[in-house]
Chains A and B, each alone.
Chain A
Amino acid sequence: MHRFANPARFLRIITAILPWSAGASAALLPLGLYFALIGSPPDYQQGDSVRIMYVHVPAAWMALAVYSVMAASGAVALVWRHPVAELVAQAAAPIGAVFTAMCLITGSLWGQPMWGTWWVWDARLTSVLVLLFLYLGYIALVNAFDDPTRGARAGAVLALVGLVNLPIIKFSVDWWNTLHQPASVARLGGPSIDPQMLLPLFTMAGGFAAFFVTVLILRVRAELLRRKLRVLRLAQAQG
């Protein structure tokens, strides 16, 4: 069947990428952690608690990037009816949701020493919170059908609608925030970042990205094999 010829090639390609991405995350994550925890100076204002930023900010980047990957593969799945693209979107969602949750938890941990409270309705944190709900809605939708292809296609539409909506949500949350909060509150990861902080930040971001690619490949591969198994079982049942 022609639709299943393609995944075989895709499987070969991602299996070839896997050792590289796994190697990159194995190298970058410890290195980034070293820079973040030991190899960089404490902040003159925040002290050592600034080190949370090296996890928090890359996690926020990944939260957005993974959602874009999801929406892009959803678009590919809708336009070219490519079953592998559906799989990629589906496999990426839980990873993205975990990055988003990580961003929220580290943000909360950072808020405690900075503001003396575990949660502040800061514009950025609130936007990330909404993003988490977009992820959760997607995951719930994809898994709500007995027919897995139906779930994947519905998810593709939702991811696209969500992507179109994301800037509007961000804009409205910012608007809401300025209405309700005095502007004096310090922002997480504000615009002025010392160059010394960039090295650990980008190393961590690279490590996160490599980790994402690795886990994504593992998940897509597992799902492809699971589908193959289902088809074989059906073939046996019919033969």
Chain B
Amino acid sequence: MSAFVAVLARDLRLGLRHGADLAMVVIFFVLAALLFPFGVGPEANLLARIAAGVVWVTALLAAMLSLDRLFHADYEDGSLDQLALSPAPLAVIVLAKATAHWLTTGLPLIAVAPALGLMLRLDPAGFAPLLLAMLVGTPCLSLFGAIGAALTLGARRGGALVALVVLPLVLPVLIFGVGAVEAEVTGLGAQPHLLVLGALLAAALPLAPLAAALALRQALESA
């Protein structure tokens, strides 16, 4: 537990001191989402129809963009060796780092999502389910992202590879995240979608750190 807190505090501190990197991810998110009105035209009905999907897809891409921060710097400068040699289980350290990643990426994305919803003419009924779904869904992105980031450590082409590995795995998050908003707007209720997202998170919370820890050990073996 103390190892979890120690690593979480360290990664948060590191993240905040590299504030420009965090801002870049959020700006990318906003920019990519606001390209859509230019791509499909500013017609209100059309935008309202695709708003939830656009927000989710661009959030997914922004999260992918931030994943190389998760382990890469620690791998390059030897910190990962030190972390892996601490008595705490590596999965706990992975969980702490994924939590810090979510707090410094997922939360800021959620914070600006309502503004994007407004500009994309999202139905007023859709805001609450969008935020709830992102609150449950974006931690899944950090957890699955941790697996992808660990697997690709030391690879020749990092950036695009992580996205290629992780995006198919997080497709369910996208489907149920968008589904929650659409169901609420059409009067069906978002609850089933949110419950499925919650189940995904509940499964990923213990399993993804284990898989990522396994991948990290492999990466350290060939360091």
Binding site for B on A (CB under 8 A): 78, 130, 133-134, 136-137, 140-141, 144-147, 149-150, 153-154, 157-158, 160-162, 164-165, 168-169, 171-173, 175-176, 179
Contacts and interface: CB of A to CB of B under 8 A. Distances in A.
Given A168-B172, A172-B172, A153 B218 contact: yes
Given A141-B155, A144-B152, A150-B222, A164 B172 contact: no
Contacts, number: 85
Q: Which of A134, A140, A149, A161 has the most CB of B within 10 A?
A: A161
A144 B215 contact: no
Interface stretch (B2-10, B96-104, B122-130, B159-167): B159-167
Contacts of B165: 137, 140-141, 158
A108 B157 CA distance: 33
Contacts of B211: 157, 160-161
Contact of B156 (A134, A145, A154): A145
B contact patch SS: helix
A50 to B, nearest CB: 31
Interface string B142-174: 000001000110111100010011011101100
Nearest to A127: B171
B130 to A, nearest CB: 17
Contacts of A147: 222
A125 to B, nearest CB: 15
A165 B179 contact: no
B176 interface: yes
Q: Which of B171, B179, B211, B221 has the most CB of A within 10 A?
A: B171
A141 B152 CA distance: 7
Given A140-B161, A157-B218, A172-B175, A145 B154 contact: yes
A157 B164 contact: no
Interface residues of B, number: 30
A144 B155 contact: yes
A154 B158 CA distance: 14
Contacts of A173: 171, 175
B119 interface: no
Given A154-B151, A168-B200, A141 B168 contact: no
